[in-house]
Amino acid sequence: MQTAEHIDLFPTLAEIAAGVTIPPCPMGAAQLTTALCTMGNSLAPLIRGTKQEVAVASFSQYPRGYQPPHSDSGGSDAEAVGDEASKYTPNPSPCLDHKCTMGYSVITKLGGTEYRYTEWCDFNTKFHRAPDYERNVGTELYDHAADPGENQNIAHEPSAAKVVAQLSKILRRGPLTGGGWGPYSEATDQEY
Amino acid sequence: MKLPADQQPPTGMPPVAWSNSGELLMYSDIKTLRNGSALQPGQVLPPDTVRELRRAYYSAVSHMDDQLGKVMAALEASGFKDETVVSFWGDHGWQLGEHGEWCKHTNFELATHAPMMIRVPGLTDKGMRTMAYTGRLRKCLLCAISIIKAADFTKTGSGQTYGRKNSNKGPF
């Protein structure tokens, strides 16, 4: 599996079009004072055929309207929260200034098997514009080898406990090249 | 036009993972069809509506493909084709009734797996494939804008970190 992310586009184009190597971002608060860095990988080695793989995981995130931990209230798009008039009108991101629930997701391989793993948790509560993974409202694990259509969530099966523990660590650390999930000074001071 | 292989949510799916496809409900015909009700887990649209929406999506993809062909033809006619890098990408995947979901608002594979293609003259002429994901879009857009700034650094050298003292405004 070769994975690539949109964050790879910048270092790729910089290298190919301008001959510039963009350095990886530092973790944590140092990122805030770094003028030029990338959280992605240049795909130029893949394009030139000098490497078969530049990254082993790809990350995504998506917001929801706030759902307290241990609630079974169900999912609602963050965009759909509000009065009737705004029910179907997308709102760019209520997570910027209000508490919400955020779903963090990673696709990667462990022991030769491809998995998608997702944790839904508090956002903008304990940490400003950052997740509190301890306040979890849902975890998903799909085995893409056995279940490419993602029809069975096996996150809570005892046999998957070891895989879940490994994937949780990978997910919370975030993009591997540098910078983690972003310049969150409080949250990224924690060791994942 | 086939129906999705599985129109039901995954077994064991936490409720928070579900999107009620509110975006689809913004379209008047679907809103009328549903009496304004968004889709709950397990609810599906009528088979003919599912087929019609899937056909329309494939039609839109074909149209976009044709438009991109026009851009590439114009690039060739301009004489700059062999010295121009072209990147073509979408910022998210799309669900067409799989799991009973529509549009993009989940973390399922189909919503996160996005197109990203790069054409580099002399390097990608034989084609290449990889996988791409959404979710980091906002920073990526900033990055794309900043490539102009990055080019400015060419004379200074590469592989360096350019620090900006006493700034908390982020990289750019």
Q: What is the pLDDT of residue B165?
A: 32
> What pLDDT is attached to residue A163?
98
- In chain B, positions 43-72, which contact chain A (CB-CB < 8 Å)? none
Q: In this predicted structure, what is the pLDDT of residue B34?
A: 95
d(CA B65, CA B68): 5
Residue B119: how many CB atoms within 10 A of its CB? 18
Q: Could you tell me the residue ranges of all domains in chain B? A: 15-155
Alpha-carbon distance B116 to A6, whole Å?
8
pLDDT at B10: 98
Residue A174 gets the label, from left (phi > 0), alpha (psi -120 to 50) or beta, of left
Looking at residue B143, its pLDDT comes to 34
Are B135 and B102 in contact, with CB atoms under 8 Å apart?
no
Mean pLDDT of A108-113: 94
Q: How far apart are CA B111 and CA A192, in angstroms?
A: 27
Residues 6+ apart with CB under 8 A from B32: none
A180 neighbors B139 (Cβ within 8 angstroms): no
Which residues of chain A are within 8 Å of residue B144 when distances are taken between CB atoms? 9-10, 13
Report whether pLDDT(B41) > 80. Answer: yes
Q: Quick: pLDDT tens for A22-81.
A: 999 887 778 778 899 998 899 999 888 888 888 788 999 898 888 888 755 554 554 444
Mean pLDDT, residues B162-167 taken together: 32
Mean pLDDT, residues B92-107 taken together: 95
pTM comes to 0.82
Q: Residue A124: what pLDDT?
A: 87
Q: Which residues contact B78 (CB under 8 A, 6 or more apart)?
A: none
Three-state SS at B127: coil
Tens of pLDDT, residue by residue over A12-24, are: 999 999 999 999 9
> Which residues, numbered 84 to 103 in chain B, qualify as contacts with chain A under a Cβ-Cβ cut-off of 8 Å?
85, 87, 89, 91, 98-99
Question: Residue A48 phi/psi, 5° resolution?
Answer: -80, -15
Predicted local confidence at residue A47, as pLDDT: 86
Give residue-wise pLDDT tens across range B136-154. 333 333 333 333 333 333 3
Q: What is the pLDDT of residue A127?
A: 83
Q: Could you tell me if B57 and B24 are in contact, meaning their C-beta atoms sit under 8 angstroms apart?
A: no
Q: Using CA coordinates, name the residue in chain A closest to B151.
A: A18
What integer is the mean pLDDT of B48-54? 97
pLDDT digits (tens, 9 = 90+) for A128-171: 878 899 999 999 999 999 999 999 999 999 999 999 999 999 99
Give the single-character DSSP code of B159. Answer: S
Which residues of chain A have a CB within 8 Å of the CB of B11? 151-153
Report how far residue A56's alpha carbon sits from residue A2's, in angstroms, rounded to the nearest whole number.
7
If one counts every other C-beta atom within 10 angstroms of the C-beta of residue B95, the result is 22
Rounded alpha-carbon distances, angstroms, from residue B9 to A114, A120, B145:
20, 17, 39
Query: What's the ipTM?
Result: 0.86
The span from the CA of B164 to the CA of A56, in Å, is 31
pLDDT given for residue A39 in this prediction: 86
DSSP B9: P
Percent of chain B residues topping a pLDDT of 90: 60
Which of the 8 DSSP states describes residue B63? H
Where is average pLDDT lowest: A32-46, A85-99, B111-125?
Answer: A85-99
Check CB contact under 8 Å for B143 and A34: no
Which residues in chain A touch residue B149, judged by CB atoms under 8 angstroms apart?
36
- A22, A75, A153 ranked by CB distance to B10: nearest: A153
Residue of A nearest to B126 (CA): A47
Residue given tokens 């976009």 in the structure block: B64
